[in-house]
Amino acid sequence: MKNNRKTVINRMMKYVGRYKLSAVMSVVFAVLNVAASLYVPILIGKAIDCILYEGTDHSRMIPILMTAGLSALISSGALLCMNEVNNRLTYGIVRDLRETAFKKIHDLPVSYLDSHPSGDILSRVIADIDQLSDGLLMGFTQLFTGIMTIVITLGFMFKMNPFITLIVVLVTPLSLFVAKYISGNTYDLFSVQSGIRGRQTELIDEMISNEKIVKAFSYEEKAIAKFDGINEELKTASLKALFYSSLTNPGTRFVNSVVYAFVALFGAFSVLNGGMTVGILTSFLSYANQYTKPFNEISGVLTELQNAIACAARVFELLDENEEIKDDEKPLLAENGVAVSGKVECEGVDFSYNKEISLIQDLNLKVSPGEHVAIVGPTGCGKTTIINLLMRFYDVDKGCIRIDGKDIRDIKRDSLRSSYGMVLQETWLRHGTIRDNIKMGRDVSDEEMIRAAKEVHAHSFIRRLQNGYDTIIGEEGGSLSQGQKQLLCICRVMLMLPPMLILDEATSSIDTRTELKIQDAFLKMMEGRTSFIVAHRLSTIKNADMILVMKAGNIIEQGSHAELLSRKGFYYELYNSQWG
């Protein structure tokens, strides 16, 4: 754990290194702030000696007090500048870290995002980095000034009375030992706290994004009970972490009070013996207080830094995940103006999400250009998995998939995926206007957009909306019905007209009447394009050139609708089960 902590700190210093000038300026302003503020007690001591030993000499007092006022002004100005520099430094580091984390998410493979809760990832990028920024800001603001105060105060004290200063230095390590011992043991506690906070964010994100499902199944009470359980865990972990970390300040304060008592005792004897004046003793006591005060602040900073380091460790865990293998040097699917024909071959393909549980085994398939292939089978048989493999969201464990004779692992992913048009059961809509969601990054005219909308029978309902195509919809389509959302996604693909199509339950949320109308548009769109159709309603795939019947990851039957019915096998049972 210590090595891990040291590694995290070293990695954080690399981000600090990007702002070397700001870091240097922060140190300079910290020195100026501390030196100016610590010069004031010397001047106050001189003023006291001036009153006690030389009478009230205003001609000597006024310059001393003016110098003290000027020093205080310089100290305040330096503090203001230091805080400004520290804020810019801290939030610059946090910005860079968030940008790196966000870019990392885009570079992670789909398998990571599928297997990790989105709430936990959100917690790392948002909550943990917020905690980190608080720790960094406190560290830069109080740690620098605290260390400078200790060093400069020791210099002033040693110049006044080396013997008493030596006593202070000898007692000081006890304060450091107390702070280090307590803060060292709080790191694990804060790590546990960050982990539980991630689980809580994960649950909240899940419940909010699936609110309709929660209400439909009356899951509210169970969700609240689950949240209360995690919340109770977080409370216990937070109290434990804060309790142990809060012991640091009282412990160091006790040691510091002992130091102050020693200084006052030996200083008083020194004044009686003529070793120092009352003014110097006053300055010395002020320095003793100034000297011990940073230890209290630094102990608090160390506690906050333990929390920050624990949060940073979670962020770096995300940044250290294996990225999707880069394919920048790989060729495009279609080069030198040659169009993609759409010939697809699967040869000896094995794949499973969990390597201990087999799914697809020895899959062999040949699809000619322009052929319409339907994939049917019971839930969990691997229909959508084939789509994931064709799109290369996942790579095969064994064998290969070829398009136009090229292994898809030897082709740029962007080129491969842009050759497909997808309409899934799950709709992909984002906050914005209807127009933005249909065009989705494609540079097409409004006339083309409206023509596509009319073909899929979406134009009529869009026109009835308050602002037509300029109507703003919320995340995931807002108040639109599931069928309307799916029509918009189909319209989007109509504008793309890619060489290959994937339709995964593309009309599952559309009423039968509209579906019959859309079938004509689909047939027109699929004309001359290799198409993969996943459907549970077997009546919708009668016209497919080839139907693949899957069971437990294997293709057990293959042929046209009429051929498969005549065999009276598994497909025959599936088809007839629709009619009871």
- pLDDT reading at 3 higher than 50: no
Q: What angle do CA 242, 245, 249 make, to 5 degrees?
A: 120
How far apart CA 214 and CA 201 sit, in angstroms, is: 17
**Residue 459 CA to its chain's centroid (Å):** 39
Angstrom distances, CA of residue 197 to CA of 203, 441, 498, 505: 10, 36, 44, 37
Mean pLDDT for 171-196 is: 73
CA–CA distance, 237 with 235 (Å, rounded to integer): 6
pLDDT given for residue 228 in this prediction: 92
Least confident of 201-215, 285-299, 310-324: 285-299
pLDDT value at residue 205: 81
Domains of the chain, first to last:
2-319 (1.20.1560.10), 341-419+532-580 (3.40.50.300)
Mean pLDDT of the chain: 81
The 10s digit of each residue's pLDDT in 377-425 is 887 787 888 888 888 888 888 999 998 888 888 888 888 888 888 877 7
Q: Cβ distance 151 to 172 under 8 Å?
A: no
**pLDDT tens track for 226-270:** 999 999 988 888 888 878 777 776 777 777 777 777 777 777 777
HEC profile of 45-60 = HHHHHHHHHHCCCHHH
**Alpha-carbon torsion (475, 479, 483, 485), positive or negative:** negative
